[in-house]
A and B are shown apart, each in its own frame.
Chain A
Amino acid sequence: KQEVTQIPAALSVPEGENLVLNCSFTDSAIYNLQWFRQDPGKGLTSLLLIQSSQREQTSGRLNASLDKSSGRSTLYIAASQPGDSATYLCAVGVSGNTPLVFGKGTRLSVIA
């Protein structure tokens, strides 16, 4: 059974710092991996999608990497801003049409 773990559970950094959020999964046979952002009381916003054949994806200040063999993904946020404060969720797709398996998230606070 696929399990997804995110470390750390919470992180507080000063504005402007670069930071890395970690995600690990137990079964390397994944279909894809997705990073989401969730603001309090809101739904999930898709940030980056990495297909199983890809190593990384970039969008603006965000870069996500995927190492299937070691069961790891990282989300790199450059030059963090207070507006980046949110919970970041990593989720693994086991196949094309099954529900994603979620980690418990990392709660990020960027202090001005």
Chain B
Amino acid sequence: GAVVSQHPSRVICKSGTSVKIECRSLDFQATTMFWYRQFPKKSLMLMATSNEGSKATYEQGVEKDKFLINHASLTLSTLTVTSAHPEDSSFYICSARQANTEAFFGQGTRLTVV
């Protein structure tokens, strides 16, 4: 099946710094990618829809200035957590749908802000 690669898988950063997470579709083009956040033992919470060549669409309650999304090409979307704080510590997962059908997910990124 199609592969979505997410990097890094784990990152520890200091409070106040920014962290960038990359999501790549390796063998298909994705005009739309999705970013999710997952709290321990909870299901996925959609944060935003990333659109190639245009602004991302954020879900209610998600700060767009804090979670910057850039979808510069058909195979790459990035999520930057700016001025990270301990409460931003979480598991972040990206997803892309191949040919508007099956959805594939990245391996996830465990962010810890200390």
Using a CB–CB cutoff of 8 Å, the interface residues on chain A facing chain B are 32, 34, 36, 41-46, 49, 51, 89, 91, 93, 96-100, 102-105
Given A49-B102, A51-B101, A100-B103: A41 and B32 interface contact (C-beta under 8 Å):
no
Residues of chain A with a CB closer than 8 A to B95's CB? 44, 99-100
B101 and A43 contacting across the interface, CB-CB below 8 Å: no
B43 and A105 contacting across the interface, CB-CB below 8 Å: yes
Closest 10 CB pairs of A and B: A96-B100, A44-B105, A43-B108, A43-B107, A104-B43, A99-B34, A43-B105, A49-B102, A102-B43, A97-B100
| A102, chain B: closest CB distance, angstroms | 5
| A33, chain B: closest CB distance, angstroms | 11
Which residue of B1, B46, B102, B108 contacts A99 across the interface (Cβ within 8 Å)?
B46
In B93-114, the 8 Å CB interface with A consists of: 93, 95, 97, 100-108, 110
Given A32-B101, A49-B101: A43 and B106 interface contact (C-beta under 8 Å):
yes
Using a CB–CB cutoff of 8 Å, the interface residues on chain B facing chain A are 1, 6, 31-32, 34, 42-44, 46, 49, 91, 93, 95, 97, 100-108, 110
| A96, chain B: closest CB distance, angstroms | 3
A36 and B105 contacting across the interface, CB-CB below 8 Å: yes
Residues of chain B with a CB closer than 8 A to A105's CB? 43
Which residue of B100, B104, B107 contacts A42 across the interface (Cβ within 8 Å)?
B107
B103 and A104 contacting across the interface, CB-CB below 8 Å: no
| A108, chain B: closest CB distance, angstroms | 14
Q: How far is the CA of A2 from the CA of B39 in the complex (A)?
A: 22
Residues of chain A with a CB closer than 8 A to B1's CB? 46
Q: How far is the CA of A102 from the CA of B32 in the complex (A)?
A: 18
| B30, chain A: closest CB distance, angstroms | 10
| A101, chain B: closest CB distance, angstroms | 9
Task: Write the chain B residue with the least CB distance to A41.
Answer: B110
A41 and B91 contacting across the interface, CB-CB below 8 Å: yes
